[in-house]
Amino acid sequence: MSYSPAMLSPTPATAKISALKGGPARPSFKAQMLQAREAAIVQSATRLLAEKGFDMMTVDEVAAEVGIAKASLYKHFSSKEDLAAAAMVQVLGQARSFLASLPADAPALEQLKAVVRWMMALQLAGQMPSLPSQNSILRAALMRNKAYLDGLMEASERIGGWIEQAQAQGAINARLPPIAVLYTLYARACDPVLDFLKMAGQHSDSQIIELVLSTCFDGLKGP
C-alpha cells in the first residue's frame, strides 16, 4: 500500500506539483480540474463516512456520487483506507483553520468550548467521518500518514495548552490528567448522544449542542 499524493499534505497533490515546478500562483486549467475532482472525491467520502461509517461505505458509492468510474478513483487513492485518511486530513485541516481563527485573547475555557461546539456542529451537519477505532488496518494507515499525524499533533498541542491554562485558572478540574480531558473533548466528535437526541426530534441542532456541551463541562449534576 502506497501513499496517495493527497496524503502528504492537506492541499491536493496537483497544487503541490505546480508549486514544485516553481510555477506561478495560477495553476493550469487542467491541474485545476484535477484538483477540483480530487476535492470532490474527498468531500463525498467525508459525507459518506459520516453517514454510514467506514465499514458500510463502499468505494463504488463514492465513485458513483462523484460521477466517475471506480478505477479512476483508485488513480487518486490507492486504497479505501487511504481515502478515509484523506478525509480525516481534510477535516483536520478545517479544524486547524478554525483553531487559528479563534481570538487569541479569549479565556482558555472559552476556547475549549468553542472547539467542542465546532466539532459537534460538524457531526450534526453530517460532515464528521466516523472511523471504527477497532479496525487495525485503518489504524495502521492513519498512523503511517504524516499529514494526519502532523495535523493531529498540532491541534492536540494547541488544545492541550488551553487545557493546562484552564486547569491553572480553576476552570477545569486540576485533578484530571490533561490527556483524559483531551480525550473527553475529542470524544464529543463521535458522541452517539448527538444522533440520539437528533432522532428524538425534540431539540434543534443548537439546543443539542448546548445540552451536550453543558453535560460535558458541568456534568449531569449541573453548574
Partner DNA sequence: GTCTATAATCAGATAGAC
Partner DNA sequence: GTCTATCTGATTATAGAC
Task: List contacts with its own copies (CB under 8 A).
Answer: 51-53, 55-56, 130, 132-135, 171-177, 179-181, 183-185, 187, 190-193, 195-197, 200, 202-203, 211-212, 214-223
Identity of residue 86: A
Identity of residue 209: I
Of residues 126-155, which lie at the interface with DNA (CB under 7 A)? none
State yes or no: residue 76 binds DNA (CB under 7 A).
yes
Whole-number minimum distance, CB 85 to its own copies, in Å? Answer: 18
Whole-number minimum distance, CB 207 to DNA, in Å? Answer: 35
Determine the Cα angle at 27 with ends 21 and 32, to 5°.
125
Q: Judged by CB under 7 A, how many residues of this single chain contact DNA? A: 19
Residue that the C-alpha cell 456520487 belongs to = 65
Question: Residue 219: which of DNA, its own copies, none does it interact with, CB under 5 to 8 A by kind?
Answer: its own copies
Largest distance between two CA atoms of the chain: 59
Kindly tell me which of 11 and 79 has the beta carbon lying closer to DNA. Answer: 79
Kindly tell me which of 74 and 186 has the beta carbon lying closer to DNA. Answer: 74
State yes or no: residue 60 binds DNA (CB under 7 A).
yes
Neighbours of 158 (CB within 10 A): 16
State yes or no: residue 46 binds DNA (CB under 7 A).
no
Q: In Å, how far are 10, 23, 91, 92 from 97, measured between CA atoms?
A: 11, 26, 10, 9
* Residue 216 host element (H or E): helix 205-217
Question: Residue 202: which of its own copies, DNA, none does it interact with, CB under 5 to 8 A by kind?
Answer: its own copies
Of residues 20-39, which lie at the interface with DNA (CB under 7 A)? 34, 37
Kindly tell me which of 44 and 167 has the beta carbon lying closer to DNA. Answer: 44
* Sole binder of DNA in the list 21, 23, 28, 69 (CB under 7 A): 69
What is the binding site for DNA (CB under 7 A)? 34, 37, 57-60, 67-72, 74-76, 78-81
